[in-house]
């Protein structure tokens, strides 16, 4: 699948670049204003070293729909915008040939303890077409790059802690909040513990596996990502990490206090 988006792909890249320029001009602010209104966060964007191929991770308006859908699920759960994600399954010369993208934050979570992450999840706009491409669990992920700090692997300073969601509860509209602490499964990419992609763990199990008497595992980055596996075109909004909700808007990322 070498030609995916045609002329629209070029416009998407230009739009994403413009959004990145706008976001880069926003000054850092506290997580929320005194009146409870959302504040802007400047440290979100495509993590370039974790991007393979030419995927799109674009701050956009909508999606509103699909056609015929009305009510709260017909619009993003926060504001008017979301993070649009587009990845292909067979568009590179690498092995595997699929694309990958991470849209995340390499600044604000750096050094935080993994054990202090207690709430995490997001809302997703899933389509029937995505299910056709890769099955019901063809979904985006939440990824934390971490330093595992395991006494059993003292020289291993890197792993990725990955959440794989269950199937979306709805398609063609915005989902309710999907709680990553109680649904889907988690694994570590470097086989540092028994929580591997082949041996799925719950949220509590994967955190417990990092506690072997060594120093606390610490976070390097936090991101929403997709790939490398199946083609997926959809959107994510309302990423929650602890008591903050990250509202993806066309003009930048806003930080809200969780209810």
How far is residue 90's CA from residue 1's CA, in Å, rounded to a whole number?
Answer: 5
- Output the pTM of the full model: 0.86
pLDDT in tens, the chain (259 residues): 333 433 344 444 444 444 443 333 333 334 454 445 578 788 999 999 999 999 999 999 999 989 999 999 999 999 999 999 999 999 999 999 999 999 999 999 999 999 999 999 999 999 999 999 999 999 999 999 999 999 999 999 999 999 999 999 999 999 999 999 999 999 999 999 999 999 999 999 999 999 999 899 999 999 999 999 999 999 999 999 999 999 999 999 999 999 8
Considering only CA atoms, which of 233, 239, 159, 244 is closest in space to residue 193?
A: 159
Residue corresponding to tokens 């199937």: 167
| pLDDT tens digit sequence for 196-228 | 999 999 999 999 999 999 899 999 999 999 999
How many whole angstroms separate alpha carbon 64 and alpha carbon 58?
16
Copy the structure tokens of residue 54: 């030419």
What is the CA 219 to chain-centroid distance, rounded? 15
């Amino acid at each position: 699948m070498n030609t995916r988006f045609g002329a629209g792909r070029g416009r998407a890249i230009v739009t994403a670049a413009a959004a990145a320029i706008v976001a880069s001009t926003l000054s850092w602010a506290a997580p929320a204003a005194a009146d409870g209104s959302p504040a802007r966060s400047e440290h979100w964007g495509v993590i370039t070293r974790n991007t393979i191929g030419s995927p799109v991770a674009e701050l956009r308006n909508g999606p509103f729909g699909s056609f015929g859908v009305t009510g709260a699920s017909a619009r993003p759960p926060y504001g008017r915008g979301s993070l649009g994600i587009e990845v292909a399954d067979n568009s590179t010369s690498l092995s595997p040939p699929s694309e990958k993208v991470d849209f995340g934050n390499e600044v604000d979570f750096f050094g935080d303890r993994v054990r202090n992450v207690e709430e995490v999840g997001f809302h997703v706009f899933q389509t029937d077409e995505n299910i056709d491409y890769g099955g019901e669990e063809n979904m985006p992920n939440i990824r934390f790059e971490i330093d595992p700090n395991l006494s059993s692997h003292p020289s291993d300073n890197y792993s990725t802690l990955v959440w794989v969601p269950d199937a979306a509860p709805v398609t063609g509209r915005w989902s309710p909040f999907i709680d990553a602490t109680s649904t889907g499964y988690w694994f570590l990419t470097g086989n540092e513990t028994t929580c591997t992609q082949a041996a799925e763990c719950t949220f509590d199990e994967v955190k417990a596996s990092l506690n072997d008497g060594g120093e606390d595992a610490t976070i390097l980055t936090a991101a929403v990502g997709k790939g490398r596996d199946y083609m997926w075109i959809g959107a994510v909004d309302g990423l929650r990490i602890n008591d903050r909700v990250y509202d993806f808007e066309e003009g930048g990322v806003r930080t809200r206090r969780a209810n």
